Amino acid sequence: MRVMVKPLECTGCSLCELACGYHWDEAFSIISSSIMLYRADEKKDYMGVIVKTEEDLFLGKPEGAEAVKLGELQQSAGAGGGGASAKPVLIREACDMCESAGLEPQCVAICPQNALYLE
């Protein structure tokens, strides 16, 4: 089971990042979140969601979703070439589905648009 993204449903509210950051740091900070929004420099109003797992990064993009192995991020065409918006997620903790806190995934629970779900 993993957190999945319906990118066309996402409004970019960042509540998922805040909930995840709170899970890791017990503070409302997005710097430690395992999930992050990203925007491509080359396209206006282009926004997606990245979820870091132990094995890969799950990229939810407007044109579709895909899992990219951690070492292959820079070759992924839709990830902004591994640019500045994608790199911070590589140093963050992998998503543990909030199991360490004994909770359901808080990013999924808090998403007002139901853009995040479990599969």
Domain boundary assignment for the chain = 3-118
pLDDT by position in tens, the chain (length 119): 889 988 889 988 999 999 999 999 999 988 889 999 887 766 667 778 889 988 888 888 888 888 888 777 554 444 444 444 455 677 888 999 999 888 889 999 999 999 999 98
**Rounded to an integer, what distance in angstroms lies between the CA atom of residue 49 and that of residue 68?**
13
**Residue 81 — φ and ψ, nearest 5°?**
65, 20
* 8 A C-beta contact, residue 28 and residue 20: no
pTM > 0.85: yes or no: no
Report the pLDDT value the prediction gives residue 80, as an integer from 0 to 100.
Answer: 44
Report the pLDDT value the prediction gives residue 59, as an integer from 0 to 100.
Answer: 86
Report the pLDDT value the prediction gives residue 79, as an integer from 0 to 100.
Answer: 43
Beta strand spans in 6-115 (E) = 35-39, 47-52, 56-61, 64-69
Report the pLDDT value the prediction gives residue 73, as an integer from 0 to 100.
Answer: 59
Report the pLDDT value the prediction gives residue 87, as an integer from 0 to 100.
Answer: 53
Report the pLDDT value the prediction gives residue 81, as an integer from 0 to 100.
Answer: 46
Report the pLDDT value the prediction gives residue 39, as an integer from 0 to 100.
Answer: 76
